[in-house]
Amino acid sequence: MPTTVFDQFTRRTADVTAQLTTLGIPLTTLGIPLTAPAPPPADLNPADPWASSYPVPVDRSTLAWCTAVTMLADHHHTGIDRQVLAADALLRELGVCGLAQLHSDLHAGAPVDFRFTRCPYCSGIGEDPAQPTCGEVGCASCLEYVGHYHVCPVCCGEDFQPEWFAEERVTELEELLADAIEEREERASLRYRIRARLCRRTVRT
């Protein structure tokens, strides 16, 4: 059992790497090496917007790739071997920041508020888990407030603190609900007045 949040990242990478290694031994026809080969260079066709322009090999032992393939496999309820190429494409085309787009896509395209939803890459600590911590490097504490380079590239440093933001969120939701009720009552009142006026006209005629 991991003792710290950073231990979780090491375990996540080790678990995925072990699964890939296991899959690559018996499935000789599948063959999943830990480094994805670079795709063949695409014909430069400016008329084809889908032509890939990123012939970069992908390291399948990085935390970002392991996070992407885990998110995809969990969402689609499949083994990671079914999501290897999708994770390759994501990291090749969008890099680590593509994890935020992937997270949003898996939420049906809705924007993800990382104050309430734990960041899949940094698990809510707000720092880039692939970089050394400020304590290890010895960064000045004042750098914490000036866009420090250790900030997580996926959630951009948003703290996962639902208990801190919950009261504010509940207040906002109550205001939205009150506005919706008031608007519904106004519409109902308008419908009643229109119906009453139409009934009066019908009676007169």
Q: Annotate 97-150 with DSSP letters as a single string.
A: THHHHHHHHHTTTPPP-TTTS--TTTTTS-B-TTSPPHHHHT--GGGGGS--TT
Q: How far is CA 68 from the centre of its chain?
A: 9
Q: How many alpha carbons lie under 13 Å from residue 23 in its C-beta half-sphere?
A: 17
Q: Comparing C-alpha atoms, which of 22, 129, 11, 24 is closest to residue 70?
A: 11
pLDDT in tens, 144-199: 666 567 888 899 888 888 887 777 777 888 888 888 888 888 887 777 777 777 77
Q: Which residue has the higher pLDDT, 4 or 82?
A: 82
Backbone angles phi, psi at 59, to 5 degrees: -85, 110
Predicted confidence at residue 49, as pLDDT, reads 53
Predicted confidence at residue 25, as pLDDT, reads 37
What angle (nearest 5°) sits at the alpha carbon of residue 203, between those of residues 187 and 185?
10
Predicted confidence at residue 139, as pLDDT, reads 74
Structure tokens at 51: 């032509």
- CA distance linking residue 200 with residue 196, whole number of Å: 6
Residues 6+ apart with CB under 8 A from 203: none
3-state secondary structure of 151: strand
3-state secondary structure of 58: strand
3-state secondary structure of 137: helix
